[in-house]
Amino acid sequence: MSTKPAARTPISKVWEENAVPRHRIQWCPGCGDYAVLNAVKMALTRLELMPHEVLLIGGIGCSGQIRNYLNGNALHGTHGGPLAYAVGVTMANPELRVIALAGDGDTFAIGVENFVHACRRDPNVALIVMDNGVYGLTTGQRSPTGGLGQPQEEFSEESPPAFNPLRLALAAGATFVAQSFSGDPRHSADVYVEAIEHPGFAFVNDFSPCVTYNKFNTYDWFKQHVELVPPDHDPADLQAAFRLLDDFEARGRLPLGVIYRRPRRKKPQQRLPMWDHELADVDLEPMLRTFR
């Protein structure tokens, strides 16, 4: 796997200029989202994408702010809504590189229905989830992925076992499933490049520690528990992907890298008809008369 830094090309300069963001960065010092931001910049630079070729969609939460700190076209949606917007955009303009940047609460709680159906519909969207196990913006309530790695012989409705988004994505039919860690942004960038290039729905779960409200899943904790997917793993084999997750869980480890990837079986997507053509022969006067 390549660990080369982003090339110093004119395109990299375009993205680096946004190191001085238009908006003041609001994340806490040490937040894992800084590394996600840098990894996204590296990935877009390696792919030689210009800002007008990319649409970044964020939800509500600390993670949703990331689209303010990048130079691409951006849309700030509702909580749980980034994937719904992303699917609509890629239907209207399949030529855009659509990247949804969301949080774990955003995606796996209120937005879980959008997540499941994105997996099965396979839109041409890359989803990067900044997973920290808490709702940071609202001061640290436990999210669906909260409790990762904590001993739990019994559980309650208020504190259920940690949700496993990788297994859900595989079961729901996602064609690209991967995981990364903010403590290694160069590896994250490698994974993002593969996700953005994947024709279809690509899901990357990035462990992005919340240094303020999650004192258990710290950078040190992740460094002790993450492990690269072995080079002999066949990401095209769905059952091998499940076996890999079983093996890592049995050893108390968390896999980093591409866990599953298969060719797309979806029919080619076509641009939606333009309104001008559809409305060319329609008499709008009766509808507009009401508003006059």
180-196 pLDDT, tens digit each: 999 999 999 999 999 99
Record the tokens describing residue 29, joined without a space.
Answer: 């010092």
Share of the chain above pLDDT 70, in %: 91
Q: What is the pLDDT of residue 153?
A: 87
pLDDT at position 36, please? 97
Backbone region of residue 139 per phi and psi (left: phi > 0; alpha: psi in -120 to 50; beta: other values): left
Q: What is the pLDDT of residue 199?
A: 95
Q: Any residues with CB less than 8 A from the CB of 275 and at least 6 apart, and which?
A: none
Question: What percent of the chain is modeled with pLDDT above 90?
Answer: 71
pLDDT range class, residue 113, cuts 50, 70, 90: very high
Helix axes 112-121, 165-172, angle to 10 degrees: 40
pLDDT 10s digits, 2-43: 445 555 567 777 887 765 666 788 899 999 999 999 999 999
Residue 126 has pLDDT above 70, yes or no: yes
Q: What is the 3-state secondary structure (H, E, C) of 192-233?
A: HHHHHHCCCCEEEEEECCCCCCCCCCCHHHHHHHEEECCCCC
The pLDDT assigned to 2 comes to 46
